[in-house]
Structure 1
Amino acid sequence: MTQTGDSLQTDDFFQFEADFVESLRCIPMQVRLKLDTCGVKLKLEHWHRFSEGDRQRLTQLPCGDRDATVAYTAYVQALVHRVQGTPASTLAIDPHPPWHSVDAIPEAVQAQARLVGGEIGLDQWRSLRPLQRFALIKLSRPSHENRNFYPALVEFGLAPPALDASPASI
Structure 2
Amino acid sequence: MGLHETPLLFDFELVSSEDLTYMPMSVRFNLDRFGLRISLAQWQLLPHADRTLLARFPVDEDAQIEPNFDHALFEMMRTHANIEPEWFTPEPDPVWRSTAAVPERLLAHSRAVGAIAPSTERWAELDPFKRYVLTKLTRKPEPSHDFVPAMREFGLMG
- Paired position in structure 2 for 1:26: 22
1:81-100 per-position Cα deviation (integer Å, ceiling 9, x unaligned): 22332211111112322222
Aligned to 1:82: 79
Residue 134 in structure 1 maps to residue 132 in structure 2: yes
Question: 1:2-17 counterparts in 2 under 5 A?
Answer: 10=4, 11-17=7-13
1:82-101 matches, within 5 Å, as 82-101=79-98
Question: Aligned partners of 2:100 and 2:64: how far apart in 1?
Answer: 28
Q: Structure 1 stretches (4+) deviating beyond 3 angstroms?
A: 62-70
Checking the alignment, whether the CA contact within 8 Å between 1:8 and 1:131 is kept in structure 2 is no
1:154 Cα deviation (Å)? Answer: 0.9
Change (3 A) 1:44 1:53: same
Contact 2:59–2:129 under 8 Å retained in 1: no
Q: Which residue of 2 aligns with 1:116?
A: 113
TM-score by length of 1: 0.81
Q: Which residue of 1 aligns with 2:51?
A: 55
Aligned mates of 1:153, 1:61 — CA distance in 2: 23
8 Å CA contact 1:46, 1:83 repeated in 2: no
TM-score, normalisation: structure 2:
0.86
Structure 1 segments unaligned to the other structure (5+ residues) = 1-6, 161-170
1:105-132 per-residue CA deviation (whole Å, 9 max, x = no partner) reads 2111110011111222101111111111
Identity %: 29
Partner of residue 39 from structure 1, selected from 24, 28, 35: 35
Shift of 1:67: 4.1
Distance, in Å, in 2 between the alignment partners of 1:33 and 1:146 is 17
Give the count of matched residue pairs: 154
1:63 and 1:12, CA in 2 relative to 1: closer, same or farther beyond 3 A?
closer
Equivalent position SS for 1:25: coil
- Tell me the C-alpha RMSD between the 2 structures: 2.3
